[in-house]
Amino acid sequence: MSIEINLISDTVTKPTPGMLDAMMTAEVGDDVFKADPSINALEDKLAKMFGMEAALYFPTGTMTNQAAINLHTQPGQQLICDKYAHVYNYEGGGVSFNSGVSCKLIDGHRGMMTAEQVEAAINPPDFYHSPKTALVCIENTTNKGGGACWDFEELKKIKTVCEKHDLAYHLDGARLWNAMVKKGESPQQYGALFDTISVCLSKGLGCPVGSVLLGSSTLVGEALRVRKVLGGGMRQAGFLAAAGTYALDHQLERLAQDHQKAAEIGSVLEQLPFIKKVEPIETNIIIFEIDELKMAASSFVEKLAQKQIHLIGMGQGKLRIVTHLNYTDTQHEAFLKILQTL
Ligand SMILES: *Cc1c(COP(=O)(O)O)cnc(C)c1O
């Protein structure tokens, strides 16, 4: 049996036949003139879903986050985020490159911080030697934190801190879908809390590309110019937006299956003698550590690769597995068996 099992990320998903159909039959127009009906429909749908005034389609989640940061800050100012944050670690230094902003990093737990930590990280506004704190960025679920979900009560406490200190509040919700499915939360409760939210459609949902920024009409109106500056104005991208609408209608509920599979993989890993630690698994990301006295992490990856199973290392003996739309029941069964025979 030779089946390729790709567990490196939930970004490896491909459009399903139903999604391809929706793309092929999409009505399109020039979105730079706001004349693409499929993009307008996706933006309206998401704005309604989150109970926010407006939404704007972007090619990538990185661009959406970068636009949001740009909207909320002035050059020289500072944002607060966890040390694991995607905006700090994985957006190519865009925070400083695009917006001239620095990051105050919080030493949180699995990518999540407390309201107390946030408040303590704010620079006093009258102390002119320090950068002015302007923004707090949250990530849910946390990527580097292993798919962890925030406690909504803590998010509310951080909101209160933001209001008290006049800070903007942005949510990097690349995998917010996973968090909401896991916790039984609604998009409206997030929409009511944050000034801006970015969501991804290309992770686990099967879209080839796509991310959306949500916010007030004023902020989203300004985001149009920022997106232009970043080179993100697209023309007949409705073919891609149609994939997003299809994903929201058909692929959200099934994320629970990815979470279930991740939990099952975790249980098997925990039983293997050369695994030192499996981080708690809440959604579709599994981070685990190999006991390198017993087996090198690289040789574990190599052994699986020989069997056409792919995962990635995160350094220091840590490895990552991500379940997703195209990781099928058959692949899951095969993978669990192979793991048990290693
Ligand atoms: C993937 C991801 C993004 C956006 O990434 P793109 O590849 O640019 O779409 C943003 N934040 C988090 C937490 C992510 O995992």
Say what the pTM is. Answer: 0.96
Residues 84 and 188 occupy one common structural domain:
yes
Within 10 Å of residue 42's Cβ, how many Cβ atoms? 27
Q: Of the residues 250, 281, 303, which one is the last residue of a structural domain? A: 250
Q: How far does the centroid of ligand 1 lie from the alpha carbon of residue 62, in Å?
A: 6
Give yes or no: residues 121 and 238 share one domain.
yes
Q: Which atom of ligand 1 is nearest to the CA of 209?
A: 9
Owner of token pair 């940061």: 69
Question: Is the domain of 168 the same as that of 273?
Answer: no
Backbone angles phi, psi at 191, to 5 degrees: -60, -35
In this structure, the answer to whether residues 29 and 91 fall within a common structural domain is: yes
> What number does the ligand 1 atom closest to the CA of 91 have?
8
Token representation of residue 234: 């697209």
Cα distance between residue 247 and residue 18, in whole Å:
10
Q: Are residues 221 and 299 in the same domain?
A: no
pLDDT category at 316 given cuts 50, 70, 90 is: confident
The predicted pLDDT at position 131 comes to 98
Q: Under DSSP, is residue 36 helix (H, G, I), strand (E, B) or coil? A: coil
Q: What is the CATH number of the domain that holds 326?
A: 3.90.1150.10
Domain that holds residue 258: 5-12+254-341
Q: For residue range 39-68, list pLDDT tens digits in order.
A: 999 999 999 999 999 999 999 999 999 999
246 and 259 co-located in one domain: no
**Sheet strands (E) in the chain:** 5-6, 54-58, 78-82, 102-106, 133-139, 168-173, 196-200, 211-215, 275-278, 285-290, 309-310, 312-315, 318-322
**How many domains is the chain partitioned into structurally?**
2
In a shared domain, residues 239 and 261: no
The pocket around ligand 1, CB under 6 angstroms, is made up of: 60-62, 65, 86, 139, 143, 172, 174, 200, 202-203, 211
pLDDT at 105 over 90: yes
**What pLDDT does residue 2 have?**
55
Q: 70-84, 86-100, 315-329: lowest mean pLDDT where?
A: 315-329
pLDDT digits (tens, 9 = 90+) for 252-272: 999 999 999 999 999 999 999
- The per-residue b/e assignment along 150-189, b for 16 or more CB within 10 angstroms, e otherwise, is beeebbebbbebbeebebbbbbbbbbbbbbbbbbebebee
Q: Which helix (H) or strand (E) holds 255?
A: helix 255-271
pLDDT tens for residues 134-193?
Answer: 999 999 999 999 999 999 999 999 999 999 999 999 999 999 999 999 999 999 999 999
Q: Specify whether the CB–CB gap between 42 and 31 falls below 8 A.
A: no
Tokens representing residue 23 in the block: 């793309």
* Tokens encoding 76: 């020289």
Q: Domain check: are 72 and 196 in the same one? A: yes
Instruction: Provide the CATH number for the domain around residue 76.
Output: 3.40.640.10
Do 161 and 211 reside in the same domain of the chain?
Answer: yes
